[in-house]
Amino acid sequence: MTSSPVDRLPPLTPPGSPGTPALPWPLLQSIAAVANAPLTSIAEELRKALAPYLASSALVIFTEDCTGRPQKKAGLESIISGVSIEELDSLRAALSGEEPWVGDAVIAAKERPVLAMKYLSSRALLVLTDPVVPDSEAGNAEAGADIAKYLWHLAARRIHEKVADAPPAYLLESRAASAERLRVTSELVDQHATTLEIVAGALRSTAMDDAAARAAATDLVAKALVRLRTLSDRTTDLIEEPVARAFERLREDLLPLTRFSGVEVQFVEPPLNGRALPGEVAHAARAIVRGLLLAMLDQPEVRRVRAQWDCDGENLLINVRDDGGGTLAADASSLGRLDRRVQALDGKMQVDVMPGWGTDVSVTLPLDAPQAAPADVSAWKLGSRELEVLQHLASGQRNRSIAGALNISENTVKFHVGNIFRKMGVTSRTEAIALATSIGLR
């Protein structure tokens, strides 16, 4: 039987209460708010839920489950707009275990007091800046920390599960956000790398007399270049994952299950030179194989399961087969949920149940985002110039490039973009690109 997120959490005892009496009603409301929050507002709901026990100036969640938007933030704008993936990744790497850590860390380019916690199952990270235990909880700080950990684990599990059940619209938006972030990062890398290379060349020039100064400056510039390239590679890793590495993560995820189930699980690895997987595909593929394995292990007489990945250049090909009696129903609810996940990525799943011989499931996941046929955009009531601007937006161009292409000023482009957002009912560039792309506008 599959348990809910709350069922799987450790028992929660209210502060100052012996045994396990009824939970305080405000805490129950907080648990419900976090559990039911959509991905776009889960950070805000978690911050509100934590406030009575652990207040903060800002709350940041860093999770690779959401490849398009790995940061979920709430609080002071000066902090949440400045925090970087590099800062969060460095902090996460320094933590061990899931216990809360309190200390000083660089967040939003400034060293400040933080409380940080990891969630090992999905490698998610929670960061609270300027954490304060309210006066009402001052005498019960330990219990407040326990409740904070409980709520964080609930939020992390809900994020993981919500991404697993993500609808097609979310996946399209996530891919658009990923592509946009990669493009912007690449531009920044090229710009700063060129600048630093020029500085390094000048400092290496023999026209400068102070050799020691040149050597020191050259060393600093070289380190800055390495750091910048590392940041670019890290961002790319969130968007694409080598197929062999993605499969190895699957094997690591399933190791505890395979170790204690008594069932032999054979892993047939994909070719090492296979095409890299988009982040959404890699994450979905691991979740699908985990779900299939759990469904197969629920059958009696299963002694062996084989999981295989392959890549034909356009699709990730997954095959999972057991040696049971073929008792897994093709219309089982567990398989239906996985099939919906496959369809969300425009993929296909085929289930072959062979009585007496086992169950064989094949899944095909396209590596490229689904291409929708061009649709009528008249519902948005865009003017001819606004439609031109939107087409340039959908192709990934920035305001300056659009202005040059249309021979108008950058301020005029901004004016048109604002009108486009209003007419399309979106609030960001990424949403507009995702919506336009989803109907085939290029």
Q: What is the pLDDT of residues 264-273, one digit of tens each?
A: 889 998 887 7
Percentage of the chain lying above the pLDDT 70 cut: 72
**Rounded CA gap, 267 and 109, in Å?**
43
pLDDT of residue 59: 95
pLDDT band of 191, cuts 50, 70, 90:
low
Who's near 61: CB < 8 A, 6+ residues apart?
A: 42, 43, 46, 71, 72, 73, 124, 125, 126, 127, 155, 156, 159
pLDDT above 60: residue 90: yes
Residues 76-89, mean pLDDT to the nearest whole number: 86
Is residue 352 classed as helix, strand or coil in its secondary structure? strand
- Tell me the residue type at 84: S
Q: Classify burial at 420, counting beta carbons within 10 Å of its beta carbon; exposed 0-12, middle 13-18, buried 19 or more.
A: buried
Report pLDDT digits (tens) over 104-133. 999 988 999 999 999 988 789 999 999 988
**Rounded CA gap, 180 and 197, in Å?**
26
Tokens found for residue 281: 């595909």
pLDDT above 60: residue 10: no
Residues 211-235, mean pLDDT to the nearest whole number: 66
Report pLDDT digits (tens) over 19-31. 444 456 788 888 8
CB 205 within 8 A of CB 233: no
pLDDT of residue 96: 86
Beta-carbon count within 10 A of 316 CB? 28
**Rounded CA gap, 32 and 52, in Å?**
16
Residues 231-259, mean pLDDT to the nearest whole number: 73
What CA dihedral angle connects 202, 205, 208 and 211, to 10 degrees? Answer: 110
Beta-carbon count within 10 A of 381 CB? 9
pLDDT band of 346, cuts 50, 70, 90:
confident
**More confident of the two residues 150 and 178:** 150
Out of 59-73, 165-179, 350-364, least confident range: 165-179
Tokens found for residue 331: 């219309």
**More confident of the two residues 122 and 42:** 42
**More confident of the two residues 189 and 38:** 38
**Rounded CA gap, 109 and 130, in Å?**
15
- Tell me the residue type at 12: L
CB 124 within 8 A of CB 63: yes
pLDDT band of 178, cuts 50, 70, 90:
low
The rounded radius of gyration (Å) of the Cα atoms in the chain is 25
pLDDT of residue 228: 65
**Rounded CA gap, 239 and 356, in Å?**
42
**Rounded CA gap, 336 and 77, in Å?**
42
pLDDT of residue 142: 65
**More confident of the two residues 420 and 71:** 420
Q: For the chain, what is the mean pLDDT?
A: 78
Q: How far is CA 27 from CA 15, 34, 270, in A?
A: 11, 11, 47
pLDDT of residue 33: 86
Residues 271-277, mean pLDDT to the nearest whole number: 81
Can you say whether residue 428 is alpha, beta or left, with left for phi > 0 and alpha for psi between -120 and 50 degrees? beta
Q: Classify burial at 406, counting beta carbons within 10 Å of its beta carbon; exposed 0-12, middle 13-18, buried 19 or more.
A: middle
Global pTM? Answer: 0.48
pLDDT band of 84, cuts 50, 70, 90:
confident
Nearest CA to 393 out of 183, 186, 238, 192 is that of 183
Report pLDDT digits (tens) over 53-68. 889 999 999 987 766 6
pLDDT of residue 107: 93
pLDDT of residue 312: 85
CB 280 within 8 A of CB 306: no
